[in-house]
Amino acid sequence: MTDRARTFYLTTPIYYVNDRPHLGHAYTTILADTMARYRRLAGDDVWFLTGTDEHGDKIAQAAAKAGITPQQLADRNSAAFRDAWRQLGIEYSDYIRTTEARHTKVVQAILQKLWDAGEIYLGKYGGHYCFGCERFYTEKEIVDGKCPDHQTPLTWIEEENYFFKMSKYQAWLIETVERQPDLIRPERYRNEILGFLREPLQDLSISRPKSRLTWGIPLPFDDTYVTYVWFDALINYVSALGGPGAPRFERYWPHAQHVIAKDIVKPHAIYWPCMLKAAGIDLYRHLNVHGYWTLGGRKISKSVGNLVEALALKDKYGNDAFRYFVLREMVFGLDADFSEEALVSRLNADLANDLGNLVARATTMIQNFGNGVIPVSQPEPGGPGPVEDWEFDLPEALQNTKDAISAAMNEFAIQKALAAIWEFIARLNQYVDATQPWTLAKDQDPVARARLSGVLYNLGSGLRCLGILLKPFLPDAAKKILSALGQPDGLRLDDAEWHLLESGTRVEKPSNLFPRVVEGKDAVSVGLQETATVMKVEHTTRVKRDDFSKVDLRVAEVLTAEPVPKSKKLLKLTVSLGSEQRTLVAGIAEHYAPADLVGKKVVVVANLEPAQLMGIESNGMVLAGSTEGKLAVLTLDRDLPPGTKIT
């Protein structure tokens, strides 16, 4: 069961061009992009808008500081945002800039309409003004009667400005927010707004005299004033669709959902609904509010100066890893503290171990035990039914996963959707452990053959469905998984059905999806660090050739690898020595993700006495060299069959 085809219009805030994109902006945009991709995957009609907010004091001041015109600054930084979204693989439908004619036209039309309807009046505005900042400060912002920025005394000035009669919509707004419990979500922000609305609502000053600020949209009915930047900016959501009456507007506006952080709830939950009401435009469907990314507890922002560069993280760890981390780590509506260590541990645990390992094991086993082809999914002839069906009921697990994703996405809880997918991954990993295809592969009995077929089919099908489900969240990895299974582009959520994988499909092993990240001493770095130490070969006791040949060295192929519970260092490996399979425990977990090893041909000591390590009997030893924190497992530089003796 999937959602009925629906229409979605998703927007991000339009970002100020006095700043360059950082983690905070990137998060909102990735969140909206994920949602847009998910809806497209579900077959819905989606329009996804982002863009830049280019007028107002802030921009004018930043341009003056940089010695360029506001338009030059806007052009430069708007391009920087656009480029950042390109690099992060954001698939927006439209990018609006508030300096574009298509926007100013709609802003002026709405202003004129409100003016004609008597919704706007000329009034006196008095406030604490800072000449340094060229702006008014509210009582709350003032520190000891001074400008919080310049620490200079403020001047009380009064000027004539145009006001929008916002106060008259207070009762309507309260009633609307109360009637629609999911209008503003999560609930904490709805409660905040209802709390705010208990105080009388003031009218909104919507102009600035040109004597003070020229960088804005002139009021159509008085060109000695420009429009207040928030009144201008909010209208982008409507102007980008062509404004009321335009076909795109009629199609998408009734389904509008905004995505913002908690810093700008008030303009979106108070000014904007009142503006829409006055202009005779229906209210949006949902205002989705997420929390802040913080660093050491402080909001990441240009003014605090604690920027975290999204693009640098993406370059260092890869787009999917960065995307996965931010989507998984933040609970919708709450703040999340950023740390590179947390990113690395999620990458290693969830991506390298859980997902990477599953993909490597499943494709390797289909290669080794199924000749690289998806077998027929055969039920066991007679008997109680294959173990995979009665214990794991994978098609049902898939359906539950899809339902959980759908429910989570409907309430914007992306982290919950990811948790559901990771449960499915864990289940598939358990399925491999329980069914032990490597044991079935040794058995010539027809029941075992049929069971092996069924298990390999299920692994292929599990990966295919997983590839589809992951598309909105990890677009690059999903693509690699699906193409390894020979699947076409353009699969939809409806295609994630257990029996849609065709027998006979060729399977390849995708290259290492998520390499494990190793922590260096000072900084976290990808891969092992270079060391320039020259090793001396110490002269130790010489042995006779006969002594050496007592050690039975063999080529072994790693079939499975998994962490040993409660151990940081140990991995449990199942290896094939050709005629037999062995379980080994190797102290290499700090250097290799299980997925890095599966499918590798390594060298083992085959005649070592068994040893118990963390309760597991190890039957052999993997050869590896190590020095100064670096470790490498011995592999072959040319292919040899497992079991080949090394002399």
Choosing from 25, 314, 591, 600, the catalytic residue is 25
Instruction: Please identify the residue of the shown chain whose CB is closest to the bound ligand MSP.
Output: 24
Residue closer to ligand MSP, measured from CB, 205 or 458? 205
Choosing from 55, 58, 128, 130, the catalytic residue is 130
521 is catalytic: no
Both tokens assigned to 290: 């997420």
Which residue in 293, 395, 404 sits closest to 29, CA to CA? 293
Both tokens assigned to 578: 């050709």
Both tokens assigned to 368: 């080794």
State in angstroms the smallest separation of the CB of 289 from ligand MSP. Answer: 9
Report the alpha-carbon distance of residue 577 to residue 604 in Å, rounded: 9
State in angstroms the smallest separation of the CB of 301 from ligand MSP. Answer: 6
CB count, 10 Å around CB of 626?
A: 12
Select from 10, 42, 120, 260 the one that contacts ligand MSP (CB under 6 A). Answer: 260
Q: Is residue 219 within 8 Å of 227, Cβ to Cβ?
A: yes
**Binding to ligand MSP by residue 299, rule CB under 6 A?**
yes
DSSP string, 493-539: GGG--GGGSPTT-B------SSPPPEE-SSSEESSPPP--PPPP---
**Binding to ligand MSP by residue 27, rule CB under 6 A?**
yes
Report the alpha-carbon distance of residue 473 to residue 388 in Å, rounded: 28
* Window contacting ligand MSP (CB under 6 A); options: 16-24, 458-466, 550-558, 568-576: 16-24
State in angstroms the smallest separation of the CB of 237 from ligand MSP. Answer: 7
Contacts with ligand MSP by CB under 6 A: the residue count is: 22
The b/e string for 394-423 (b: 16+ C-beta within 10 A; e otherwise) is bbebbeebbebbbebbeebbbbbbbebbbe
**Binding to ligand MSP by residue 257, rule CB under 6 A?**
no
Choosing from 266, 302, 480, 630, the catalytic residue is 302
Q: How far is CA 321 from CA 42, 347, 460, 516, in A?
A: 24, 6, 24, 11
Report the alpha-carbon distance of residue 558 to residue 641 in Å, rounded: 12
State in angstroms the smallest separation of the CB of 32 from ligand MSP. Answer: 9
Provide the mask over 476-505, with x wherever binding to ligand MSP is found by CB under 6 A and - wherever it is not: ------------------------------
25 is catalytic: yes
**Binding to ligand MSP by residue 233, rule CB under 6 A?**
yes
What pairing do the DSSP bridges indicate for beta strands 293-295 and 336-337? parallel
**Binding to ligand MSP by residue 416, rule CB under 6 A?**
no
The torsion angle over the Cα atoms of residues 293, 298, 303 and 306, rounded to 10 degrees, is: -80
**Binding to ligand MSP by residue 70, rule CB under 6 A?**
no
Q: How far apart are the first and last CA of the chain?
A: 59
φ and ψ at residue 135, rounded to 5 degrees: -155, 165
**Binding to ligand MSP by residue 271, rule CB under 6 A?**
no
State in angstroms the smallest separation of the CB of 80 from ligand MSP. Answer: 12
591 is catalytic: no
Choosing from 133, 165, 266, 569, the catalytic residue is 133
22 is catalytic: yes
Would you give the distance in Å from CA 86 to the centre of its chain? 15
**Binding to ligand MSP by residue 293, rule CB under 6 A?**
yes
Residue closer to ligand MSP, measured from CB, 260 or 360? 260
φ and ψ at residue 156, rounded to 5 degrees: -80, 115
Q: Which of residues 301-340 bind ligand MSP (CB under 6 A)?
A: 301
Which residue in 56, 62, 52, 6 sits closest to 29, CA to CA? 52
Select from 114, 234, 240, 481 the one that contacts ligand MSP (CB under 6 A). Answer: 234
**Binding to ligand MSP by residue 32, rule CB under 6 A?**
no
Residue closer to ligand MSP, measured from CB, 75 or 494? 75
State in angstroms the smallest separation of the CB of 338 from ligand MSP. Answer: 9
C-alpha gyration radius of the chain: 31
Q: Which of residues 172-211 bind ligand MSP (CB under 6 A)?
A: none
φ and ψ at residue 639, rounded to 5 degrees: -75, 135
State in angstroms the smallest separation of the CB of 112 from ligand MSP. Answer: 21
* Window contacting ligand MSP (CB under 6 A); options: 228-236, 417-425, 572-580, 630-638: 228-236
**Binding to ligand MSP by residue 13, rule CB under 6 A?**
yes
Report the alpha-carbon distance of residue 236 to residue 98 in Å, rounded: 7
Residue closer to ligand MSP, measured from CB, 200 or 296? 296
**Binding to ligand MSP by residue 25, rule CB under 6 A?**
yes
Which residue in 362, 319, 343, 311 sits closest to 474, CA to CA? 319
Vertex 199, ends 195 and 203: CA angle to 5°? 120
State in angstroms the smallest separation of the CB of 435 from ligand MSP. Answer: 44
The b/e string for 225-254 (b: 16+ C-beta within 10 A; e otherwise) is bbbbbbbbbbbbbbbbbbbbebeebeebbe
Report the alpha-carbon distance of residue 215 to residue 338 in Å, rounded: 36
630 is catalytic: no
Bridge partners, residue 562, by sequence: 572
**Binding to ligand MSP by residue 599, rule CB under 6 A?**
no
130 is catalytic: yes
Which residue in 114, 159, 169 sits closest to 136, CA to CA? 159
Select from 47, 252, 253, 292 the one that contacts ligand MSP (CB under 6 A). Answer: 292
Q: Which H or E run contains 209?
A: strand 207-209
* Window contacting ligand MSP (CB under 6 A); options: 20-28, 400-408, 554-562, 632-640: 20-28
Residue closer to ligand MSP, measured from CB, 239 or 576? 239
Select from 8, 9, 10, 15 the one that contacts ligand MSP (CB under 6 A). Answer: 15
Select from 8, 9, 24, 55 the one that contacts ligand MSP (CB under 6 A). Answer: 24
State in angstroms the smallest separation of the CB of 393 from ligand MSP. Answer: 40
State in angstroms the smallest separation of the CB of 81 from ligand MSP. Answer: 9
274 is catalytic: no
**Binding to ligand MSP by residue 405, rule CB under 6 A?**
no
Q: Which residue has the tokens 């809880």?
A: 413
Residue closer to ligand MSP, measured from CB, 225 or 271? 271
Choosing from 55, 58, 128, 147, the catalytic residue is 147
* Window contacting ligand MSP (CB under 6 A); options: 11-19, 102-110, 403-411, 543-551: 11-19
Select from 274, 300, 327, 571 the one that contacts ligand MSP (CB under 6 A). Answer: 300
Report the alpha-carbon distance of residue 207 to residue 56 in Å, rounded: 11
**Binding to ligand MSP by residue 8, rule CB under 6 A?**
no
**Binding to ligand MSP by residue 97, rule CB under 6 A?**
no
Enumerate residues 6+ apart whose C-beta is below 8 A from 229: 53, 55, 56, 57, 58, 216
Q: Any idea which residues carry the catalytic annotation?
A: 22, 25, 130, 133, 147, 150, 299, 302
Q: Which residues contact ligand MSP (rule: CB under 6 A)?
A: 13-16, 19, 24-25, 27-28, 53, 233-234, 236, 260-261, 263-264, 292-293, 299-301
